[in-house]
Structure 1
Amino acid sequence: MKFSKYYVAAFFSFVIWGFFSLALKPLKSYPSLDILFYRVFLCAVIMAVISFFVRRKVLGDNIIKYRAMPVAQKSRVVLQTLGGGLLLTANWFFFIYVMNHISVKAASFAYLVCPIMTTVIAYFVLDEKLSKWQWSAVLISVVSCALLSFANIADISYSLIVAASYAFYLVSQRRNSGLDKFLLLTIQILFSAMILLPFYPEYSAALPIELSFYAFIFLIAVLFTIVPLFMNLYALQGVTSSTMGILLYINPLMNFSIAIIYFHEPINTVQIIAYSLIFASIIIFNERFICRKRTAAI
């Protein structure tokens, strides 16, 4: 395939994210806020060094672009970027809390429904159209949520909060264009660090002394944050957004599998049916893309 190297980059970025629970679960004895604090602070330092020193030419070009923008566009870029940083911070905190204090399956479910939830929000906010097949997929996912809610309403509520925070982030960033994406992400993470910094002295626990804590935080910051983001940015040069959307489901499906196989989390018949419906809704939602790829192959 002409874009195979981009496809491989996209595929492995989501595979890497699929193993995130293996680095996060060993930290479950630490408060969720502490994990968030150190992850964001370390990411902010690393990404700032990359953007402001390693990619200085890109920074200079984007400063020129920003200064040349009309006042209204400048304001929109600032609001969308900083608002995205706020949503990203919320999503990270909710995800860490659900992963370590609710269940890996609940965190996995959040990112199963997130792409569909994103499209529904985009339908109302951005006036993006949905086909009859896609509306059918949305209804199927609603049924699966209802099934899971019968088992544990708290779990599904937490899952939907995680999904909604990231869905709103994605929708808010769709129109945030004109500047380098990695630079915008750096600004968002720096803004996230600024939001969290005043809360650190009051709400952080005692400074961790275990070297394993810092080893896992470094692993999370580099391997499960910066590296996949770099791979995503590279992949987007040669892979369509629809292909990225299909590959996005690798992450939650791997999380769910790891929850059952590695962490031995219990699963019942209702959950199997509900997750099967989610999988079916994914296929139906992407029916046009899948059929088009099959036709092209023939």
Structure 2
Amino acid sequence: MKFPKYYLAAVTAFVIWGFFSFGLKPIHDYPSQDILFYRVFTCIILMVIINFTVRRDKIKETRTYLKALTKTERRNQWLLIAGSSVLLTGNWGLFIYVMNQISVKAASFAYLVCPILTTFFAFIILKERLHKIQWLAVFMSFVSCAILSYNDLRDAMFSIVVAATYALYLVLQKRITMPDRFILLTLQIGIVALILLPFYPVYSSTPPIEVTFYLFILLIAVLFTIIPMFLNLFAMKGINSSTIGILIYLNPLIAFALAILYYKEDITFEQILSYSLILVSIVVFNIGSYLKMKAIEK
């Protein structure tokens, strides 16, 4: 059965992202926009090198695949790739804006809202159906988010906008039929780089001279961008968007655990209650996934 392979890829991606603070914390004194610029530019340089040195056969296969499509199908695929790249750019840019100009809490809250929006968009756009138990898990997630946003509706609204861009990005991936997901990711990050390039001379600071900065950028590019995003796109081939959406919660759960156990940050009762509900919702959702899969097999 192929399902566990895709499921494992999704779980691995979000577990890796849960430890993202290990890459960001050591360079938190540098401007956020510089981290974004160098992250994206490093990613696209590495991916182009990889594709044109050891994956030329995959490039040929992708060209053959695209040529085999009708003119309308090919145009739709490029529109989906371009549209998802714009959403990805917006998500990364908005996330940094919210982090710097609104609050860190609002930026973190976006990761909690995203699974709910992903499930909603998948239901509306992709017509994905959920088991009744899975809807219970979604409701539990909604309650946990409502608890965290109760005291600050403004922050919650900014979080929803950030979350919506990534949720739509995830859902659009189900419409993209390009077989090689690494080349797809290369195209998407390439478009992101082209969008950011005109902003680099205006908004970037003086290029850092510390070797440590570039070492952590390389770590972020490889371990916290290319690998998990490729795994995420690969997982989308075998499991539905709703399942991907609920697994996003692994990211903030791990980050929350690190905040308590490693960074020794203060926590509130509301946060403990909310994250506990999220953990239970993941278990409930996956029970629903199992029951749904067994029903299909029958």
Task: Identify the TM-score tier after normalising by the shorter chain.
Answer: 0.7 to 0.9
CA deviation string 1:142-192 (max 9, x = no partner): 222222122333443343333222110011111111342111110010000
Evaluate the alpha carbon distance shift between residue 123 and residue 247 of structure 1 in structure 2; reply closer, same or farther with a 3 A threshold. Answer: closer
1:254-293 alignment runs, 5 A limit: 254-290=254-290
Q: Is the 8 A contact 1:108 1:253 kept in 2?
A: no
Match of 1:226 in 2: 226
TM-superposed CA distance for 1:11, in Å, is: 4.8
TM-superposed CA distance for 1:106, in Å, is: 5.0
TM-superposed CA distance for 1:288, in Å, is: 1.8
Amino acid at match of 1:143: V
CA deviation string 1:33-56 (max 9, x = no partner): 111111000001111111233210
Give distance in 2, aligned partners of 1:149 and 1:8: 31
Give distance in 1, aligned partners of 2:27 and 2:229: 23
Could you state the TM-score of these two structures normalised by the residue count of structure 1?
0.84
1:50-69 alignment runs, 5 A limit: 50-69=50-69
1:12-161 alignment runs, 5 A limit: 12-96=12-96, 102-103=103-104, 106-161=106-161
Amino acid at match of 1:260: I
**SS class of match (2:150):** helix
Match of 1:173 in 2: 173
Q: Is the 8 A contact 1:112 1:253 kept in 2?
A: no
Give distance in 2, aligned partners of 1:21 and 1:98: 17
Evaluate the alpha carbon distance shift between residue 284 and residue 13 of structure 1 in structure 2; reply closer, same or farther with a 3 A threshold. Answer: closer
Give distance in 1, aligned partners of 2:236 and 2:126: 22
TM-superposed CA distance for 1:122, in Å, is: 1.3
Give distance in 1, aligned partners of 2:72 and 2:121: 24
Give distance in 2, aligned partners of 1:2 and 1:121: 25
TM-superposed CA distance for 1:293, in Å, is: 9.1
Could you state the TM-score of these two structures normalised by the residue count of structure 2?
0.84
CA deviation string 1:226-276 (max 9, x = no partner): 233455577789x75688667554322111111222223322112222222
Total equivalences in the alignment = 293
Evaluate the alpha carbon distance shift between residue 256 and residue 107 of structure 1 in structure 2; reply closer, same or farther with a 3 A threshold. Answer: farther
Give distance in 2, aligned partners of 1:8 and 1:131: 21
Give distance in 1, aligned partners of 2:281 and 2:293: 18
Amino acid at match of 1:283: V
**SS class of match (2:263):** coil
Q: Which moved more, 1:279-288 or 1:113-122?
A: 279-288
Q: Which moved more, 1:71-80 or 1:106-115?
A: 106-115
Q: Is the 8 A contact 1:43 1:221 kept in 2?
A: yes
